[in-house]
């Protein structure tokens, strides 16, 4: 049971955005994927969820061939991707944003149960169920995007920069919730982050991308101690 | 005073039929971002199916749902085998943005030719199931006949059903989500392609109803080159644009407004100015409020 990526390459026209990447994330671990702007992090996640076509290599979640599976089918197999930016639908209410994550299960009862359990994790959403999503603050929207994803009961979560544009205190909160998901619910997480320090602090393993290639990888604590990584990516 | 009331009734009745057409334009626009000029042809074809039922079973009441169902099937078929392929292949290049629109015009011609081939180019007739003679109050005749009353009731019911489907059902939520944010919807597990086909089917059903009601409201004549259907398309489109093209509520509002304005122009100014008024109204809205009179974007923050 793991996320396995082997020799994966992705092109945007002539740009080789993901260049021969290989790594494995064992089940139940939180992996931080860090790297500078344009390193290929978003491209990698979009390829794993089936939004972008790969040009070479393989990627599997357990026995599911991620590169052959459309996003709407990957969700049905336990893989959920929260895309970059505050990934909510502003015209819908908070409750509707939650519900769309569980429509595919066609089970009213399970939907209500899932809603209850995500509201337990993020009580602020519970107080705002009938509000339109565009009335939420940035942090609340990020919580909503994460909750929508949880509504589909994922086993593997692909998160693209959940800390984007949030105040430090809110970032802390979101990171703690993500850590909780792995620890208490056993969800495997691939967390893409610009906030390298914050991400490595909560992660089990870290992968540093540079110009589409894996520059360094290893346990999160090793990476944080590595002087080269500190200088290049952690800024001290 | 009585004339004002009658003009109002005429406007509301024709406006409610435009509303069905406008709704079908909006549904297609929301699900695939295509302005579907073939909608007139699709509505016409469904109405011909309705005509067949009237002809064989002598029942308008059976023909109306048959026209709606066949409209849904035809629309779903067109989306599946035609538009889906077309949109996939025309996503780049200089004509990418207009190719689908041109294609719907081609489709319109194709459907008309098809109808001419099967039913001939002469008029056929659908008789009104109810009297088209207005109720009378004392010595005066009201511009509200049993048929017009049926139209108002039928359209109101269809609108209620549609509102219920959109606001209260899972498929309605999927339709709205897919229209606003297809990518997020796919990531949430919604089969957006399937939802699109369903959106087209709903549009086809609304078009079929519009065609049947319009024909019974007019002189009952039906032909491949029916002017009535071309007008229905034009007015439905204008109404949809007035309403912002993205909003079902806006489409209904635009259609009723258009129906009323045209009825008053017809009664108090003159028949020759009706079309001019319709297009002037369209231009004014496009210039003054290009997002439509009821704009959904208004409440939308970045
Ligand atoms: N749709 C696209 N078309 C063309 N080039 C693209 C596209 N998406 C990404 N790229 C290019 O691919 C490279 C990797 O981009 P990507 O968005 O994956 O980086 P990233 O690591 O997520 O960056 P950031 O931290 O800024 O989000 C960049 O050079 C980018 O310009
Ligand atoms: Mg990115």
Q: Where are the domains of chain A?
A: 2-78+154-234, 88-153
Q: Tell me if A91 and B296 make a contact (CB, 8 A cut-off).
A: yes
Q: Confidence class of residue B299 from pLDDT cuts 50, 70 and 90?
A: very low
Q: Identify the CATH number of the domain defined by range A2-78+154-234.
A: 3.40.50.300
Q: Give the pLDDT score at B296.
A: 52
> What range defines the domain where residue B292 resides?
2-299
The residues, ordered by sequence, that sit 6+ positions from B182 with a Cβ below 8 Å of its Cβ are B192
Pocket-testing residue among A38, A164, A195, A214, ligand 1, by greatest number of atoms within 8 A of Cβ: A38
Strand order in the sheet with A205-210: A79-82, A156-160, A188-193, A30-34, A205-210, A213-219
pLDDT digits (tens, 9 = 90+) for A22-61: 999 999 999 999 998 999 999 999 999 999 999 999 999 9
* Dihedrals phi, psi of B157, to nearest 5 degrees: -65, -45
Average pLDDT over residues A87-113: 95
* CB contact burial B253-263 (16+ within 10 A = b; e otherwise): bbbbbbbbbbb
Q: How far is the CA of A32 from the centre of ligand 2 (A)?
A: 13
pLDDT at residue A204 is higher than 60: yes
The alpha-carbon gap from B162 to the nearest alpha carbon of chain A, in Å, equals: 18
- Pick the atom of ligand 1 nearest to A212's CA: 14
What confidence score (pLDDT) does residue B298 get? 42
* In the predicted structure, residue B240 carries a pLDDT above the cut 90: yes
Task: Give pLDDT tens digits for B188-223.
Answer: 999 999 999 999 999 999 999 999 999 998 888 999
CATH of residue B163's domain is 1.10.3470
- pLDDT score at A165: 85
Q: What is the mean pLDDT of residues B159-179?
A: 94
ipTM: 0.94
Angle, CA of B162, B252 and B268, to the nearest 5° = 150
Neighboring chain A residues of B191 at a CB cutoff of 8 Å? 72, 104
And the tokens for A49?
Answer: 């969820």
pLDDT of A77 strictly over 60? yes
The CA-atom distances, in angstroms, between A129 and each of A96, A99, A105, A144 are: 8, 11, 21, 10
> Does residue A12 contact residue A43 with C-beta atoms inside 8 Å?
yes
Is pLDDT at A72 greater than 70 in this prediction? yes
* Count of beta carbons in the 10 Å neighbourhood of residue B118: 11
pLDDT interval class at A236 (50, 70, 90): low
pLDDT at B285: 87
Answer whether residue B302 shows pLDDT above 70.
no
Q: pLDDT tens-digit profile of B272-290?
A: 898 899 999 989 988 988 8
pLDDT of A212 over the 80 cut: yes
Burial of A108 (0-12, 13-18, 19+ CB in 10 A): exposed
B 115-144 → A contacts, CB under 8 A: none
Averaged pLDDT for residues B129-140? 88
Say what the pTM is: 0.90
User: Do residues B16 and B255 make contact, with C-beta atoms less than 8 angstroms apart?
Assistant: yes
CB contact under 8 A, A88 and B176: no
* Tokens 């949880």 found at: A150
Q: Please, where are the H alpha helices in chain A?
A: 41-49, 71-76, 94-99, 108-121, 123-126, 138-151, 168-185, 196-202, 220-225, 227-229
Contacts of A75 in chain B (CB under 8 A): 187-189
Please tell me the predicted confidence (pLDDT) of residue B301.
31
Higher pLDDT, A29 or B83: A29
- The pLDDT-based confidence of B89 (bands split at 50, 70, 90) is confident
Nearest to A91 among B174, B180, B191 (CB): B180
Q: Is B184 on the interface with A (CB under 8 A)?
A: yes
What the block records as the tokens of A107 is 């089970």
Residue of A nearest to B180 (CA): A89
C-alpha span between B175 and B87 (Å, rounded): 19
Domain count, chain B: 1
Chain A residues whose CB is inside 8 A of the B181 CB are: 89
DSSP assignment letter at A186: -
Contact criterion met (CB below 8 Å) for A79 and A187 = no
How many residues make up chain B in this entry? 302
Range list of H helices, chain B: 2-32, 39-57, 60-78, 84-89, 99-119, 146-168, 170-180, 182-187, 192-217, 227-242, 248-268, 274-288
CA atoms within 13 A on the CB side of B55: 9
Tokens of B163: 């509102």
Averaged pLDDT score across all residues of chain A: 94
Which pLDDT belongs to residue B173? 96
Q: What rounded mean pLDDT belongs to chain B?
A: 90
Give the rounded distance of the alpha carbon of B67 from its chain centre: 13
Residue B221 contacts A, CB cutoff 8 Å: no
Kind and range of the H or E run holding A80: strand A79-82
**Nearest residue to B39 via CA among B93, B105, B87, B92:** B105
Q: How confident is the model at residue A73 (pLDDT cuts 50, 70, 90)?
A: very high
Is the CB of residue A164 less than 8 Å away from at least one CB of chain B?
A: no
Distance spanning both ends of chain A, measured CA to CA: 36
Task: Give the pLDDT score at B207.
Answer: 96
Listed residue (B225, B18, B212, B226) closest to B127, CA to CA: B212
**Digit-coded pLDDT (tens) for B38-69:** 999 999 999 999 999 999 999 999 999 999 99
Q: Are A172 and A166 in contact (CB under 8 A)?
A: no
Contacts of A96 in chain B (CB under 8 A): 173, 176-177
pLDDT given at position A226: 87
% of chain A surpassing 70 pLDDT: 99
């Amino acid at each position: 049971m793991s996320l396995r990526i082997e020799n994966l390459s992705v092109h945007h026209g002539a740009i080789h955005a993901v260049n021969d990447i290989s790594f494995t994330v064992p089940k139940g671990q939180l992996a931080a994927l860090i790297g500078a702007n344009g390193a290929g992090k978003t491209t990698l996640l979009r390829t794993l969820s089936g939004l972008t076509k790969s040009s070479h290599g393989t990627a599997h979640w357990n026995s599911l061939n991620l590169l052959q599976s459309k996003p709407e089918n990957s969700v049905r197999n336990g893989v959920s991707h929260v895309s970059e930016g505050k990934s909510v639908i502003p015209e819908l209410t908070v409750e509707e944003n939650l519900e769309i994550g569980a429509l595919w299960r066609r089970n009213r009862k399970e939907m209500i149960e899932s809603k209850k359990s995500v509201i337990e994790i993020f009580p602020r959403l519970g107080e705002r169920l009938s509000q339109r999503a565009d009335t939420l603050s940035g942090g609340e929207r990020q919580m909503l995007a994460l909750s929508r994803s949880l509504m589909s009961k994922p086993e593997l979560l692909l998160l693209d920069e959940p800390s984007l544009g949030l105040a430090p205190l809110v970032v802390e909160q979101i990171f703690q919730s993500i850590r909780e998901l792995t620890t208490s619910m056993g969800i495997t997480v691939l967390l893409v982050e610009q906030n390298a320090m914050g991400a490595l602090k909560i992660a089990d393993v870290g992968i540093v991308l540079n110009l589409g290639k894996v520059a360094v990888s290893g346990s999160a604590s090793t990476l944080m101690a590595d002087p080269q990584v500190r200088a290049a990516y952690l800024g001290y | 005073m009585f004339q004002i009331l009658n003009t109002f009734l005429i406007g509301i009745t024709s406006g409610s039929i435009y509303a069905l057409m406008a709704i079908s334009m909006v549904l297609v626009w929301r699900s695939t971002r295509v302005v579907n000029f073939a909608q007139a042809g699709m509505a016409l074809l469904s109405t011909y199916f309705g005509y067949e039922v009237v002809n064989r079973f002598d029942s308008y009441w059976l023909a109306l749902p048959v026209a709606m169902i066949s409209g849904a099937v035809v629309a779903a078929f067109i989306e599946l085998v035609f538009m889906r392929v077309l949109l996939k292949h025309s996503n780049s290049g200089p004509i990418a943005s207009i190719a689908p629109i041109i294609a719907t015009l081609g489709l319109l011609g194709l459907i008309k030719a098809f109808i001419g081939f099967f039913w001939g180019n002469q008029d056929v007739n659908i008789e009104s199931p109810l009297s088209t003679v207005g109720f009378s109050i004392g010595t005066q005749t009201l511009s509200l006949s049993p048929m017009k009353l049926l139209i108002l009731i039928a359209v109101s019911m269809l609108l209620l059903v549609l509102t219920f489907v959109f606001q209260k059902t899972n498929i309605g939520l999927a339709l709205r989500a897919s229209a606003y944010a297809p990518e997020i919807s796919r990531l949430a597990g919604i089969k957006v392609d399937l939802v699109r086909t369903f959106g087209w089917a709903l549009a086809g059903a609304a078009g079929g109803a519009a065609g049947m009601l319009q024909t019974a409201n007019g002189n009952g004549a039906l032909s491949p080159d029916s002017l009535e259907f071309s007008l229905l398309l034009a007015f439905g489109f204008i109404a949809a644009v007035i309403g912002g093209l993205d909003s079902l509520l806006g489409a209904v509002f635009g259609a009723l407004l258009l129906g009323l304005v045209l009825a008053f122009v017809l009664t108090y100014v003159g028949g020759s100015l009706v079309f001019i008024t319709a297009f002037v109204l369209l231009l004014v809205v496009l210039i003054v409020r290009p997002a439509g009179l009821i704009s959904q974007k208004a409440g939308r923050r970045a």
